[in-house]
Amino acid sequence: MITVESVTKTYGSLKAVNDVSFEVAGGEIVGFVGPNGAGKSTMLKMLSTYLYPTLGRISVAGFDVVDEPLEVRRRIGYLSGDTPLYRDMRVDEFLRFIGRARGLRNTDLERHFDETVDLCGVGDVLAMRVDQCSTGFRQRVGLATALIHDPPILLLDEPTHGFDPLQVIAFRELLQKLRPGRAILFSTHITADVEAISDRVLIIHLGRLLADGRLDELAAETGMPGASLEATFAHLVSATSSPSADRTHG
């Protein structure tokens, strides 16, 4: 469902993403791990069509992100790392606005709205303005905007940011429920999230993809069979030489 071929993204002289290739199939949950400024968010922004790659090609659900961005946007649910919400709107108004902008109308909109509210657990805050919600609820609302149109592809940038431990567990259960038929790619700093729910891990550092595989495979490849993702990640990152201080894009 997602195919990334030799993609590079530059900002001036900085290569935020450097010759990255990977695929994500339907029914697969893939964790995208890397330190700050590694290029995770830039990669997700390109998959969402917000940014276009400088080099290479990205296909989402069979559509090129540059040539057919509207077709791509119809099929993705995207939660960016900044949790973009209109804070002056009530939660219910905001979700309906997103539903309408995604082409949902009347009973179809109400059905999707009810189901998403239920699924994301935001029923208690529907009448509240977004800026009155706690960080955790705002994150849930953001997640609801990514799900309201029932997309076959989910792109989530730091989706558990602001969640308490119970909400993290509930989020992991939610992703498992959403898994059938969907390609889910999420970025995180929290290696425990990846270990708990991901089928596969992508490790990125300094814009380059250092590893792509199942956790046990990666641990074995790095000569540390049975090691945790955290240990594997630390080993791979420290092995890469790095003028990381001047990198500003995540």
The residues binding other proteins (CB under 8 A) are 45, 48-52, 54, 70, 73-76, 78, 80, 82-89, 93, 97-98, 100-104, 108, 115-116, 118-121, 140, 143, 145, 147, 149-153, 167, 170-171, 173-174, 177-178, 180-182
**Which residue, 14 or 89, is less far from other proteins as judged by CB?**
89
Contact 70, 64 (CB under 8 A): no
CA 141 – CA 83 distance, rounded (Å): 9
Contact 156, 142 (CB under 8 A): no
Helix (H) or strand (E) holding 151, with range, is none
| Residue showing tokens 């003028």 | 243
Least distance to other proteins from the beta carbon of 180, Å?
5
CB of 59 to other proteins, least distance (A): 16
Nearer to other proteins, 168 or 220 (CB): 168
The nearer residue to other proteins, 72 or 218, going by C-beta atoms, is: 72
CB atoms within 10 A of CB 105: 9
For 125-143, give the secondary structure using H, E and C. HCCCEHHHCCHHHHHHHHH
Q: How far is CA 104 from the centre of its chain?
A: 23
Is the Cβ of residue 38 or residue 143 nearer to other proteins in the bound state? Answer: 143
| 3-state SS class at 102 | coil
103, 193, 106: which is closest to 149 by C-alpha? 103
Output the smallest distance, CB 74 to other proteins, in A: 4
Q: Which is nearer to other proteins, 113 or 233 (CB)?
A: 113
Smallest gap, in angstroms, from Cβ of residue 130 to other proteins? 10
Q: How far is the CB of 82 from other proteins (least distance, A)?
A: 4
